Chain A
Amino acid sequence: MVSAALSMILAVSVLSGCTGSGAQAGSAQAQSTQAASAQAQSTQAASAQAQSTQAASAQAGTGSAAGGEVSVLLPEWSDPGEEAIASFEKQSGIKVNLNIMGWDQIHDKVTIAAASKESAADVLEVDWSWAKEFITAGVVDPITLTDAEKKTFPLYTAFDVGGQISAIPYMTDYKVGYYNTEHFEKAGITKAPETWDELIADCKKIKDAGVCKYPMAFTLSATEGNATQFLWLTLARTGAVFNADNSLQQANLQDSFSFISKALKDEIIDPAAISMQDTEVDKLFKNGDASFIIASTTFMETANNAEESKVVGKVAPMLIPGNKDIKSATFGLPEGLGISKNSTNKANAKAFIDWYLSVDTQISNFGKQGALPSNMDAFKKLGDEKKILGAEVIEQQSDYLTTPFPNGVPSWYSEYTTSAAQYANGMAQGSITPEQAAEKLAEDVKGFNAE
């Protein structure tokens, strides 16, 4: 457990060295024009800023806020549950208005509210991919974390965009590899592959042994899940996705595209993956129709849930394969809580967030939803009690946490995803070649940066 914490800290210090510099000037400028256009909100923004730093410097606990309300907007899987909320209300004297909304819809709602300079809720769900967007669009206030807090929540770096932290992570999520132990056994494979070449060889063995027709689970439909796959694939195969100036590493992407294209031709990936969303591909594996998948840290729990999976007890985690230069690589996709910029209850918002991120609440949420805590103390505790399945390998994978974005996730990430998914899908259908796909994507990225 200690090693996990240390390795996370190591990853954090590497990451924090990378962020900043060029992007900082840009974001400062954005912030000043934003303040200018905020009209009547500007004075309020200034005083709210003072208020939030004040709340941030208050030590752990809910001492400063007493009475009043707070509205919270969360997706269904982050619901702490009625009892927990009731105990918070009792302890703090703050009434909680909890709104649960579909994840996509949260983004829509928040966007509309921001356009009218309203606040959708005091405490907002912030996904890592929205981190930059939300700051630029004036949805959330930047948060200041103390050094101690940074140590406790090392994944805050995913929300660090150009020096501004848009949210505090409330759960840990990054990609890990998983394989079907039964398939591997039947095909006579004794250890998990460590490089991509080994992986392909293993898949071919499984296929030839008649154990599984399409061993590799990978989505190729034109959806967001598809685009994120190429991010970790490139990180693990060639290293960099984006350069320091946010242009695309075209050669690396082309390598990833070619790799998948070949796997598809060799029928290691199901041709029907062209139409499959990532949840459907996950299900393929859980039905026992695939041997290998790369999925989130929570996958282990659901794959061993008899209500959902047919491969209970036959799943083992493994490090994402690398190649001769890279042992492994993964990146974090955490979700966090942010404080709405136009909120009038910022102190209460901070109090709620503090409570939500406390060790007890984190552990209770893990019990309910299977979400790995972002709070290192909670994580340690669960590990000590042996409550996390496959903990060893999952921790080990965290040693290789890196990020595709040297400057933090860019504000045009959403458009990038649409383009990337579309070209990957087109390549899978055979209408463009991997070279063309990489070329077009690089061009689009140039366009995004130029705007």
Chain B
Amino acid sequence: MMNRKRGNKWGMLGYTLMVLFFLFWTIGPIVWSFMISITPKTDTMISPAPLFPAHSTWKNYQQLLAGVLTPGKVNQEARMFKIGMTNSLVSCLLVIVVGSPVCLLAAYALSRLRFRGKKMIHALLLATLVIPLFSVIVPIYKIYSDLGLINNYFGLMLVYISAFMPLTVWLLCSHFESLPIDLEEAAKLDGCRPMQILLHILLPISYPVLFAGALIMFISTWNQFLIPLILSPTNSTKPIAVIISEFVTKNTVNYGLMNAGGLLAVIPPVIIAIIFRRFLISGLTAGAIKG
């Protein structure tokens, strides 16, 4: 935290500048995307580009949200959009709910417990980071096809978890390893078993990292494209990123619709991030170690 007394003015100035730059950098392109999404098809691709379209239209949003805005009259795009959002949400929630315990347990084992093969597993886990997705998608498709796991939320979830667990486990391990071991040693002497130590001592002070991990898993799953493209070809499991990519016709790409879809598609993750932000709080560590 910045020194409150002396540097307050500079601190606030620096902060404001930073926020402005941040808004420009992050939101600038988003604003442009919004402009594209309210531009009618006839007015697209004009040179030089107007900063604000001459005629604006909400048609793209109407098309996508038809189910919500005019219930009873649903068109194809709205239906697909809703399906995509629902599928994405289900996938992401599954991943967080199942993935978090898996990663937490594994991180605990890798940083605090002893067992044979620990170093090897740890190394192998980190090594998976370098594996590009394309190379393994073909064998995975074959395996899943044989097991009947295509188009299956459970199968998809497993693949997603396998993709994001290296990073999450790494984060958690690095966090555990930075905690002094005294408290846990003391608990051990008192007779606590590892699981109790994990749940009652480590977990409460690990919320920031754990929620960061969950947030990472949620968002990484949300914008997945290639995996679901191959492994979930039908509407029962197709996520939003794939749906948006399909807003093309043979000779034209519906840019307005795609941008509108993209903007709508980031709303759930943004809400989740804002919610999770509450949990990314420090101060829980204070007192736990000393006391």
Contact = CB atoms under 8 A, between A and B. Distances in A.
* A touches B in complex, CB < 8 A: yes
B249 interface: yes
B130 interface: no
Contacts of A307: 40-42
A279 B253 contact: yes
Interface stretch (B106-114, B134-142, B162-170, B260-268): B134-142
A112 B42 CA distance: 38
A102 interface: yes
A95 B151 CA distance: 18
Interface string B227-247: 001100111000000100111
B46 interface: yes
Contacts of A115: 138, 142
Interface in B12-61: 40-42, 44-47
Interface size class of A (residues with CB under 8 A): 35 or more
Nearest to A116: B142
Interface stretch (A153-161, A283-291, A431-439): A283-291
B138 A105 contact: no
Given A112-B138, A308-B41, A289 B252 contact: no
A296 B145 contact: no
A46 interface: no
B226 to A, nearest CB: 9
Contacts of B248: 76, 102-103
A315 B234 CA distance: 40
B252 A279 contact: yes
A97 B251 contact: no
Interface string A10-23: 00000000000000
B48 to A, nearest CB: 11
Interface in A148-201: none
Interface in A103-159: 103, 105, 108-109, 112-113, 115-116, 118, 120
Given A108-B229, A115-B138, A279 B251 contact: yes
18 contacts: A79-B76, A99-B235, A101-B229, A102-B245, A105-B245, A109-B233, A112-B230, A113-B141, A115-B138, A115-B142, A116-B138, A118-B142, A283-B45, A295-B251, A302-B251, A307-B40, A310-B42, A371-B250
A102 to B, nearest CB: 5
Contact of A116 (B44, B145, B229, B235): B145
B53 to A, nearest CB: 14
Nearest to A309: B42
B235 to A, nearest CB: 8
Nearest to A371: B250
Contacts of A369: 249
B145 A118 contact: yes
A307 B59 CA distance: 11
A283 B255 CA distance: 12
A298 to B, nearest CB: 7
A95 B141 CA distance: 25
Given A287-B46, A299-B251, 8 more contacts: A100-B246, A103-B248, A103-B250, A109-B233, A112-B230, A116-B141, A296-B250, A307-B40
Interface in A279-325: 279-280, 282-284, 286-287, 289, 295-296, 298-299, 302, 306-310
Contacts of A279: 251-253
Interface string B121-147: 000000000000000011001100100
Nearest to A282: B251
Candidate in A79, A113, A298 with the most chain B CB atoms within 10 angstroms: A113
Contact of A109 (B45, B230, B250): B230
Given A102-B245, A116-B138, A309-B42, A302 B252 contact: yes
Interface of A: 73, 75-77, 79, 97, 99-103, 105, 108-109, 112-113, 115-116, 118, 120, 272, 278-280, 282-284, 286-287, 289, 295-296, 298-299, 302, 306-310, 369, 371
Contacts of A100: 246
B229 A109 contact: yes
Candidate in A76, A77, A298 with the most chain B CB atoms within 10 angstroms: A76
Nearest to A308: B41
A112 B45 contact: no
A76 B246 contact: yes
A335 B137 CA distance: 28
A99 B253 CA distance: 20
A120 B234 CA distance: 11
Nearest to A280: B45
Contacts of B76: 79
A392 B44 CA distance: 31
A170 to B, nearest CB: 13
A99 B234 contact: yes
Report the 8 A-B pairs with minimum CB-CB distance, sorted nearest first. Answer: A116-B142, A283-B45, A77-B250, A308-B41, A77-B249, A102-B246, A99-B233, A118-B145
A5 B84 CA distance: 44
Given A113-B141, A280-B45, A310-B42, A97 B234 contact: yes
Nearest to A71: B234
Contacts of B235: 99
Contacts of A112: 137-138, 141, 230
A272 B247 CA distance: 26
A283 B145 contact: no
Contacts of B246: 76, 100-102
Given A109-B229, A112-B138, A296 B42 contact: no
Contacts of B45: 280, 283-284, 287
Nearest to A106: B233
B145 A306 contact: no
A99 B233 CA distance: 7
B252 A282 contact: yes
Nearest to B142: A116
A367 to B, nearest CB: 15
Nearest to B47: A289
A298 B249 CA distance: 12
Contacts of A101: 229, 233, 246
Nearest to B143: A116
A209 B149 CA distance: 65
A155 to B, nearest CB: 16
Contacts of B252: 279, 282-283, 302, 308
Contact of A105 (B40, B46, B229, B250): B229
A120 B138 CA distance: 13
A282 B141 CA distance: 38
A120 B246 CA distance: 18
A97 B233 CA distance: 11
